[in-house]
Structure 1
Amino acid sequence: MLGMLLGAWRYRFFIFSSIKTELRSKFVRSRLGGLWMILNPLSHVLIFAFVLSAVLSAKLPGINNPYAYAIYLMAGTLSWSLFAEIVNRCLTLFIDNGNILKKLVFPRIALPLIVTGSALVNNVLLFAAILVIFGVLGHAPGLSLLYLPLLLLVNIALALGIGLGLGVLNVFMRDVGQVVPVLMQLLYWFTPIVYMPTIIPAQYHSAIALNPLLPIVTGYQEVLLYNRPPDWSALAIAALVATLLLGFSMVLFRRASPEMVDQL
């Protein structure tokens, strides 16, 4: 595993240039350029806010802003969009880059790192747009924003831990690529992004608590909506789960790498 990380460090300029090239190629003929990276999640937020805010806005305790539900939804969307992009792209990463893996010699761990870097840039741009919208809506996050880098790190670790493992399995069992999008939809609706956790019936609390993404999303909401720190105990458990999943996926990736090219 240390060898993979050292290889990635030696090829760091290749990774950075690949991220830059990927982002540029997406919008080279687009007049709106990087705006397309944030318009899709923001339109998603606006649709839900318009349809559901009249029903759920009254259930946001401690918030006096009439646009509280939209703010709550944007906080959860910021977290989910990064997680979902990394997992979904890692799922088909090695299949999509089969020709490159066969023809070029480079540390294969560079591919998920390129995906992560690209997703991170997209997420930072979305965050900047959300901050502007917060200002327009009269909501100013405070010093609690300093907790966001830690939440971001745990979010990336969890997404890579899940996405990298699924990407390797998808090379050998293509059914994985068909099942995961369905599971991602279920995970989205089992995570309190478009609804408050308080509306979940008590008998389902234990099942929802098993969701490793829950402390991360609620942490974003605590920071961006309520201007207070995340639940440290819950976040520590999520960080432990993310670390274990990432470690397992790295071991799986290292052992499967020699056979992946033959399968592709």
Structure 2
Amino acid sequence: MAAVFLAGVAGGALNTVVGSGTLVTFPVLLAVGLPPVTATVSNALGLVPGSVGGAVGYRRELRGQRRRVLRLGACVLPGGLVGAGLLLALPTSAFDLIVPVLVGLALVLVAAQPRLNRWLRERRGRSGRPARPDGGPALRAGLALASVYGGYFSASQGTVYLSLMGAFLDESLQRLNALKTVLVGGVNAVAASFFLFAAEFDWTAVVLVAAGSAVGGRTGAGLGRRLPPAALRAVVLGWGTVALVLLLVR
């Protein structure tokens, strides 16, 4: 129980800072004996308070972004619901095959994020076209597809969001991170609401992760302004590798 709670604290903080908290909480839930699908559902429910805490911590950076949140939120919420439905509609054998691949791709995205963001910014600079306030159709379509992935298995969902928004929005990283936190929280909330009525989950794990993520999410915004991104990325990659090994062994 202590391990799950602490994983919730770390997961809530990491979700706020870099968007990869599931790569911390998921391997711990597997290690304490939960089946993979039950661990995924319990994790989705438990991390919702962390997103709320992260949004509160980033409220200063969210000022002036209300219209953008509403427009992009309308794109990501249906995608999260579709992903949650796929998690329950597809057989467990499909989950066992798909999720190790998704975790592996998530690790690659986390490792490549700085270079990918730099390349996208340079490409936008060469084109000479100013960024649209809401990112345009390309950003909305990309976020919608990423949200299907997030509703199915949320590892590094926030990293994908940041990469897309960094390419199409002319904003500081902190303001993009605040926007990402709200959007990820919305997708997790939609998926969690669906899971409450349609999926099996472990209440003890949900409560422990929720309590931990509420603490971690609130403090994650402050930590994100101080800790080196490279150090956080190294932690996420290490825990993600643990998750991948556990999935392959199971």
- Give me the TM-score of the superposition, normalised by structure 2: 0.34
Instruction: Pick 1 or 2: higher relative contact order, CA cutoff 8 A, min separation 6.
Output: 2
Larger Rg: 1
- Give me the TM-score of the superposition, normalised by structure 1: 0.33
